[in-house]
């Protein structure tokens, strides 16, 4: 196939744009002028005239939970819900389709969207007396169980908080239904396992979903959250990914991360089979969690939360344990990715990475900090010292711009939050992702297999690159959805919530070129 009369973005600084491209058997043969491709043109060549529209390389989403995303598409959708009544109505509709005793699952709710009131089991008990319910918050660090689910899980006023988690209670110590971080495991332990066939179908559904949004490669950090089993990610690997690979059903490229406590298994697997099982599946490394999230007040900060004096968030791992696991993973050649959102959590990781480098020596190790959401003064510059990857999710700021000031104070929020430009200036490698299905995103209007075509779709958003020929990428913010790189790029460039006149922390906006590359 020859693609002609296009505005092809190459990401090559020496020649950022080209007009034509030749492709055969899934490989790009040449990018350049139309005349330079004539030698490839034969009797069976298909030629597509793009009429000047933009052609982008397929996007890499650097942080997803792919199978969970596919499963979530079939569950109660609570993203974007803006009132208690709407929340209850959506769950009620889901309960109608279930048999008595069948679990109702869903997620994506954000209490900040309806003024901050935290949901409780009482919201659900009247509409679901015969069905246990579990609904995860949009950040994945808090969830809501109805009374039946708590009864099945054995949660009552005498239950102790597990290490690294909290059972939220009334003043009389009665559980409200909210479980934070490791406490969620109490419910996870009693929810019936999703069948292998459902998980396989979820991979295929999620892959099609990603392709329709221009995503051709993902970094899948797995079904591993605080309180969940380390084994689930391994079961997904063997039961789902290896099955899809053997059956020729892989549609997008994946780079897989596994729970850090299982690093010896990852190391043995790579030693036995190599880093890449094929052109579709790459074995990346290991992931751990150091803290929680801002929305659930479990991100780990130096200073307390404004709305909870004395509460600094949660440290989910002992630093000595984390250091030893990181040292061993690093010695084995595994890439290490660690979740950190609060400023103290990020500083503790940066200090630990310094120690790992001093003990294990200098090499191309590509440490990743997942989210790097709130940074102390000077922290952004430290990322560049060891080429640390800041794996960030621009659309998370659409959730936090309104609420961060209330959570940690306006001055702290504006000093520390989503410092994309500062990270780049400090030498960090910036990698954009969606955290799907954990965060919100937006509906896509274009289809992509290996390249993302964006043209005269809608006129609500225009990115204009004046240095070159006109570059127009058009997207439409229609509804709350999920994976969507064009929306993430828009967010990184504008830092505006829908309806906002001014950007949030305007100095941290990114230009188009840096956003596309991220």
pLDDT tens digit sequence for 153-209: 999 999 999 999 999 999 999 999 999 999 999 999 999 988 999 999 999 999 999
The burial of 364, by beta-carbon neighbours within 10 Å (0-12 exposed, 13-18 middle, 19 or more buried), is given as: exposed
Q: How far is residue 354's CA from residue 404's CA, in Å, rounded to a whole number?
A: 29
Residue 455's pLDDT is 34
What domains sit in the chain, N to C, each tagged with a CATH number?
2-55 (2.30.40.10), 66-189 (3.10.310.70)
Identify the residue whose tokens are 């479980």. 179
Interhelix angle for 319-331 vs 263-273, to 10°? 10
**Strand duo 54-57 + 451-454: pairing:** antiparallel
For residue 195, give Cα distances in angstroms to 68, 235, 243, 405: 13, 11, 14, 42
Overall average pLDDT of the 279-301 stretch: 95
For 27, phi and psi rounded to 5 degrees?
Answer: -120, 140
**Calculated CA dihedral for residues 157, 158, 159, 160, nearest 10 degrees:** 110
Overall average pLDDT of the 480-487 stretch: 76
The burial of 85, by beta-carbon neighbours within 10 Å (0-12 exposed, 13-18 middle, 19 or more buried), is given as: exposed
Detail the DSSP E strand segments found in 75-214: 76-77, 104-109, 133-137, 142-145, 165-169, 175-181
pLDDT in tens, 232-287: 999 999 999 999 999 999 999 999 999 999 999 999 999 999 999 999 999 999 99
Strand-pair partners of 166: 180
Question: DSSP string covering 36-66, please?
Answer: GGGGG--TT--EEE-TT-EEEEPEEEEEE-H
Q: What's 280's DSSP letter?
A: S
SS3 482: coil
Interhelix angle for 343-360 vs 319-331, to 10°? 40
pTM to 2 decimals?
Answer: 0.79
For residue 237, give Cα distances in angstroms to 180, 218, 221, 228, 231: 27, 15, 11, 16, 10
Q: How confident is the model at residue 137 (pLDDT cuts 50, 70, 90)?
A: very high
Q: Which of 213-217, 402-406, 429-433 has the lowest mean pLDDT?
A: 402-406
Backbone CA torsion sign across 439, 440, 441, 443? positive
Residue 383's pLDDT is 96
Residue 296's pLDDT is 85
pLDDT in tens, 6-60: 999 998 989 999 999 999 998 999 999 999 999 999 999 999 999 999 999 999 9
Residue 74 token pair: 């079939």
Q: How far is residue 360's CA from residue 128's CA, in Å, rounded to a whole number?
A: 54
Residue 457's pLDDT is 28
**Calculated CA dihedral for residues 171, 172, 176, 180, nearest 10 degrees:** 60
Q: How far is residue 349's CA from residue 329's CA, in Å, rounded to a whole number?
A: 15
Q: Does residue 189 contact residue 132 with C-beta atoms inside 8 Å?
A: no
Question: DSSP string covering 186-252, please?
Answer: HHHTTSPPPPHHHHHHHHHHHHHHHHTTTEEEEEE--S--TTS-THHHHHIIIIIIHHHHHTT---S
Q: How far is residue 367's CA from residue 334's CA, in Å, rounded to a whole number?
A: 10
Q: What's 25's DSSP letter?
A: T
Residue 459's pLDDT is 28
pLDDT in tens, 74-126: 788 898 899 999 999 999 999 998 899 999 999 889 998 898 899 999 999 99
Q: How confident is the model at residue 453 (pLDDT cuts 50, 70, 90)?
A: very low
Residue 165's pLDDT is 93
């Amino acid at each position: 196939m020859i693609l002609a009369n296009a505005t092809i973005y190459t990401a090559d600084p020496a020649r950022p744009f080209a007009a034509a491209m030749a492709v055969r058997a899934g490989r790009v043969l040449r990018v350049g002028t139309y005349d330079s491709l004539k030698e490839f043109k034969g009797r069976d060549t298909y030629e597509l005239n793009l009429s000047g529209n933009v052609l982008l390389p397929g996007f890499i989403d650097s942080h997803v939970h792919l199978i969970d995303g596919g499963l979530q598409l079939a569950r109660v959708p609570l993203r974007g819900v803006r009132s208690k009544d709407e929340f209850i109505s959506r769950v009620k509709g889901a309960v109608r389709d279930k048999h008595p005793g069948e679990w109702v699952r869903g997620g994506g709710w954000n209490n900040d969207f309806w003024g901050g009131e935290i949901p409780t089991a009482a919201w659900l008990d009247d509409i679901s007396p015969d069905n246990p319910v579990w609904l995860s918050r949009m950040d994945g660090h808090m969830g809501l169980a109805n009374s039946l689910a708590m009864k099945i899980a054995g949660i009552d006023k005498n239950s102790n908080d597990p290490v690294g988690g909290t059972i939220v209670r009334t003043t009389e110590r009665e559980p409200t239904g909210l479980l934070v971080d490791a406490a969620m495991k109490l419910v996870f332990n009693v929810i019936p396992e999703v069948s292998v066939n459902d998980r396989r179908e979820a991979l295929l559904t999620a892959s099609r979903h990603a392709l329709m949004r221009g995503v051709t490669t993902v970094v899948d950090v797995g079904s591993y959250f605080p309180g969940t089993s380390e084994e689930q990610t391994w079961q997904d690997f063997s039961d789902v990914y290896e099955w899809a690979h053997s059956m020729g059903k892989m549609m997008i490229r994946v780079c897989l991360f596994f729970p850090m406590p299982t690093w010896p298994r990852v190391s043995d697997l790579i030693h036995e089979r190599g880093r890449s099982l094929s052109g579709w599946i790459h074995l990346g490394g290991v992931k751990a969690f150091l803290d929680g999230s801002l929305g659930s007040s479990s991100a780990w900060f130096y200073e307390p939360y404004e709305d909870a004096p004395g509460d600094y968030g949660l440290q989910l791992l002992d630093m000595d344990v984390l250091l030893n696991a990181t040292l061993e993973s690093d010695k084995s050649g595994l890439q290490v990715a660690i979740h950190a959102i609060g400023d103290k959590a990020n500083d503790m990781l940066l200090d630990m990475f310094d120690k790992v480098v001093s003990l294990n020596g200098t090499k191309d190790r590509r440490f990743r900090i997942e989210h790097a959401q709130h940074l102390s003064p000077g922290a952004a510059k430290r990322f560049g010292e060891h080429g640390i990857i800041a794996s960030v999710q621009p659309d998370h700021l659409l959730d936090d711009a309104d609420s961060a000031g209330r959570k940690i104070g306006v001055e702290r929020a504006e000093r520390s939050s989503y410092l994309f430009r500062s990270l780049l200036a400090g030498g960090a490698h910036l990698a954009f992702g969606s955290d799907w299905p954990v965060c919100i995103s937006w509906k896509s209007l274009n289809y992509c297999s290996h390249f993302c075509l964006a043209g005269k779709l809608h006129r609500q958003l225009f990115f204009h690159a004046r240095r070159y020929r006109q570059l127009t990428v058009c997207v439409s913010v229609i509804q709350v959805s999920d994976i969507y790189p064009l929306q993430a790029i828009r967010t990184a460039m504008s830092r505006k919530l829908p309806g906002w006149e001014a950007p949030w922390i305007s100095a941290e906006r990114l230009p188009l070129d840096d956003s596309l590359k991220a």
